[in-house]
Structure 1
Amino acid sequence: MAAAAGSHEFRTVESRDGYVGRVIALRVDEVLMPGDGTARREVIEHYGAVAVVVLDEDGNVVLIHQYRHPLGRRLWELPAGLLDAAGESDVDAARRELAEEVGLAAADWSVLVDVAASPGFTDEVVRVYLATVLSTVDRDISLGDEETDLVIERFPIAEAVRMALAGEIVNASAVAGLLAAQAVLSGVGQSRPADAPWPDRPHRFADRHR
């Protein structure tokens, strides 16, 4: 008799590495399917990341315009970065990225959303924070690669949401974070504490470097 739908354990019976790079790895798994057969699943392992909806006292959000090579153009995004520093908490990583990329610090932090970037093939999940009560700090001028070319601008949050709905902002964590921030500000939902549990935080790629 077939097991009830939703009760099968998708167990990995074999795993091998296809590629291991600086910020990702490709893992190939054989996974037990319903009916006792197996299927191959290719998984991109990733450090995971944090992003920040930075909201100032005038209701503006800080966005950066940065070149993204896979799409071949510059995108409007939130300040963000990898969880690649050993021993650093998630919110401390967000604080670091906020200072490095846009030269700001925030006194009040909360979690807006956790975004699984594309769970069909990657374990990348981005935690998006809301940061308020801002102050200026020294920006890291030693940023490398594409970051040396980024442009920093402030937009009214309503305009940023319009840009997301119009397809002018397509970065997944930016779209989700801006819509979530608008929902919180409108009283539709509530943000979570800055240290809220994060069960889907990626760890496999980071574990390779420990």
Structure 2
Amino acid sequence: MMDDNVRKACEEAGYQILSSEMAYENPWTAVREDKIIHPGGKRGLYGVVERGTFAVLMPVHEDGRITLVQQFRYPVGKRLWEFPMGMWETRPNADARELALGELREETGLRAGELIHAGTLYQGAGYSTQMGHVFLARNLVRGEAEREATEADMKVKDISRAEFDRMIVDGEMTCMVTLAAYAQIRARGLL
């Protein structure tokens, strides 16, 4: 159901919430359907995707190389290069730092000696509640990845920052979370 704080903020913004019902849910995702009246008086319907908090990390090695992961993304039918990221559906209230370190270890085998929180972001705020924490990971040590079965096809590679920037320019880097995390880290002067 709709979070009380979100309901209050929507009502203060002039929305009338006629009903809010869960239409579908599984361990990873829930879809809520809200019948509303917009501030201008028009009736409407919102399908809201509810997902847990995630963490995304930019792992930067001492020599400046960046670690990326690539995996097949079923909804779009493509393999995408991305920063390591994820959520723990079995522990939705996990500490963001613990989640970040766990995802880094699971996907890449890297352990971070330094983890800097660079901000938060929403993934699709026009349709989803999912919020993520952005981290810069440094002082990295390699170990064995501890991937889940669904991550068995994952590839890992280390590239230079110049190569990463080239991937952005050439349209090879299309993951919006990775691009937004990179922008936050750079804008805060952490690179």
Structure 1 residue corresponding to 2:84, chosen from 62, 66, 79: 79
Q: For residue 23 of structure 1, give the secondary structure of its aligned residue in structure 2.
A: coil
Letter in 1 for 2:44: A
State the Cα distance separating 1:16 from its structure 2 match. 1.1
- For the pair 1:23 / 2:24, whether they are aligned, the reply is no
State the Cα distance separating 1:87 from its structure 2 match. 4.5
* Cα offsets for 1:140-168 (capped at 9, x unmatched): 15x202x1111100011232122123210
Structure 1 residue corresponding to 2:175, chosen from 164, 171, 175: 171
- For the pair 1:140 / 2:146, whether they are aligned, the reply is yes
Name 2:160's counterpart in structure 1. 156
Structure 2 residue corresponding to 1:55, chosen from 56, 60, 69: 60
For 1:38-117, list aligned pairs within 5 A: 38-84=43-89, 85-117=91-123
Contact 1:100 1:139 in 2 (8 A): yes
Distance (whole Å) between structure 2 residues aligned to residue 87 and residue 181 of structure 1: 24
Name 1:202's counterpart in structure 2. none
Distance (whole Å) between structure 1 residues aligned to residue 153 and residue 40 of structure 2: 53
TM-score by length of 1: 0.77
**1:99–1:8 CA distance, 2 compared to 1 (3 A):** closer
Q: For residue 152 of structure 2, give the secondary structure of its aligned residue in structure 1.
A: helix
Q: How large is the Cα RMSD of the aligned pairs?
A: 2.1
5+ long unaligned stretches in structure 2: 1-11
Distance (whole Å) between structure 1 residues aligned to residue 141 and residue 184 of structure 2: 23
Contact 1:60 1:156 in 2 (8 A): yes
Distance (whole Å) between structure 2 residues aligned to residue 50 and residue 131 of structure 1: 12
**1:13–1:105 CA distance, 2 compared to 1 (3 A):** same
Distance (whole Å) between structure 2 residues aligned to residue 53 and residue 133 of structure 1: 12
Distance (whole Å) between structure 2 residues aligned to residue 94 and residue 87 of structure 1: 13
**1:46–1:101 CA distance, 2 compared to 1 (3 A):** same
TM-score by length of 2: 0.84
Letter in 2 for 1:171: C
Q: For residue 30 of structure 1, give the secondary structure of its aligned residue in structure 2.
A: strand
Distance (whole Å) between structure 2 residues aligned to residue 127 and residue 87 of structure 1: 13
Contact 2:70 2:155 in 1 (8 A): yes
Structure 1 residue corresponding to 2:137, chosen from 114, 131, 152: 131
- For the pair 1:32 / 2:20, whether they are aligned, the reply is no
Between the aligned residues of both structures, percent identity stands at 26
